[in-house]
Amino acid sequence: MHQHTTSLLAALTAAVLLSACAGGAPQAAATARNQPARPAGGHGLDAFLGSYDANRDGQVTRAEFDAIRLQRFKAADANGDGWLSEAEYVAEFEGRLKRQYFDQGRQPDAAYENNIKQAHTRFGIVNRARDGKFTWAEDQAIADKTFTGLDTNGDGVVSKADPQRPREQRADND
């Protein structure tokens, strides 16, 4: 029962915080400038820019990327112990997924449920120590790989100007 209550509290906390950060109804790109980064889902450059371009200038600096990841990590750490349990990790993801569905005017469906199942599986992968405690250090290791992989021109900024790697290379390195 306690685990269920903690999971529910974490999900609600993440949803409230992300809703507050996300703003109102979707806006055109021109008016989205200077709005908080949207909690987009998915993979690839567009999803990355949608999630981490905090000032909506079409590019993501490492500072923007790290600040949003830290904000999400701290918001997901419902009990403040400095690490995320599987329930906290999945609740944070589910909050972003719910926001994405809301923004698109969609109701949870089979794909939604599969994404939640995948989040549980992903926790087992990202928790490298296999101790059930996803730490900020583990998150930073992922962040380093992600940012470096997308900043293909090495200028310290990710944007559509970065040449995309061929699919085969992305699969090997992601």
131-162 confidence digits (pLDDT tens)? 999 999 999 999 999 999 999 999 999 999 99
Mean pLDDT rounded to a whole number for the chain: 79
Q: Which of 75, 88, 113 is nearest to 7 (CA)?
A: 88
Q: pLDDT grade, residue 41 (50/70/90)? A: low
Count the Cβ atoms, other than its own, within 10 Å of residue 23: 12
Reply yes or no on whether the pLDDT at 29 is more than 90.
no
Q: How many H-runs (helices) and E-runs (strands) does the chain carry?
A: 8, 4
Evaluate whether 56 touches 34 at the Cβ level (below 8 Å): yes
Q: pLDDT grade, residue 8 (50/70/90)? A: very low
d(CA 3, CA 45): 35
Structure tokens at 79: 């009990």
Q: Please state the pTM of the whole predicted model.
A: 0.72
pLDDT at 12: 38
Between the alpha carbon of residue 92 and those of residues 9, 148, 168, 169, the distances in Å are 11, 24, 30, 29
